[in-house]
A = this chain, B = another copy of it.
Amino acid sequence: MNEKELLEGYDDGEYRRPSVTADILVFSMSSDFKLQLLLVKRKNHPYMGKWAIPGGFVDYDESLEEAALRELREETHVEDVYLEQLYTFGKPGRDPRTRVISVAYVALVPKERLHIQAGDDAAEAALFDIENIDWGIRFYSPEMREALSEEELAFDHAEIIRTALKRLAGKLDYTDIAFQMLEDKRCFTAYEFEKIYEAISGRKVEKSNFRRDFIGRYIKTGVIEELDVKSSRYSIKPATCYCYKRQSHRG
């Protein structure tokens, strides 16, 4: 291919280094408690018009996490969120232009905090509902209910998303990640928390058991506290509110 020859012509005989990018998977939760992922539509080749995970090159003086946060800021204008390194993807050929090693990060952001805006490399940016969690992965766009198939994703991004979904589901039971999706960590109901848990794990839970465990584990360990406030946001009968007692981000 002449495109490849062109790129190899850039090489000047010195040691040829791979490029490093930080990619960021921004997960959020729709108002009807469906797990959502931020994708951007590529406006350049390769994969022009396909949907991709936002990301960009890591600057020489910037840490990987800083690079991920910078991308996050550019796309969503949020700063202070839960962020976790996912995995590093580096197979030669995953980007047809040149050798790219991508360090993928996962961010969990409550939806009201998101102010989505397409970055320089993207035509548009949108949140996609993640409907079925059988790792075959199928997305449905929020407004139009249009299926987004794996073929419409750029690069190896379907694999990256699968990895992220597995990681999130796996960490649900022994970490606090579900709390990171709450609209207001300082005042939320058991119902909200349960719905978030269901969305991330991909399966229904028994309401009564979940409440027992939820109360039992987190109240006893002081992670949450019962408040005097009641909320009728999601129900007719006012529900007890709880307060998450740890720092709002970091994990």
Contacts and interface: CB of A to CB of B under 8 A. Distances in A.
**A interface secondary structure, majority:** loop
A15 B19 CA distance: 10
B64 A101 contact: yes
A63 interface: yes
A117 interface: no
A101 B16 contact: no
Interface string A76-117: 000000000101101110000001010100000000000000
Interface stretch (A35-43, A54-62, A184-192, A216-224): A54-62
A115 to B, nearest CB: 28
A125 interface: no
Residue from A19, A58, A90 having most chain B Cβ neighbours under 10 A: A90
Contact of A19 (B17, B64, B88): B17
A127 interface: no
Nearest to A103: B88
A63 B85 contact: no
A84 to B, nearest CB: 11
A142 interface: no
A18 interface: yes
Nearest to A90: B64
A20 interface: yes
B90 A103 contact: yes
Contacts of A20: 17-18, 20, 90, 101
A56 B204 CA distance: 47
A42 to B, nearest CB: 21
A94 to B, nearest CB: 9
A91 B58 CA distance: 11
Given A17-B19, A17-B20, A87-B85, A61 B103 contact: no
A215 B63 CA distance: 46
Interface string A42-70: 00000000000000011011111000000
Contacts of A19: 17
Interface string A156-187: 00000000000000000000000000000000
Given A17-B20, A17-B60, A101-B103, 4 more contacts: A20-B20, A62-B92, A63-B92, A64-B90
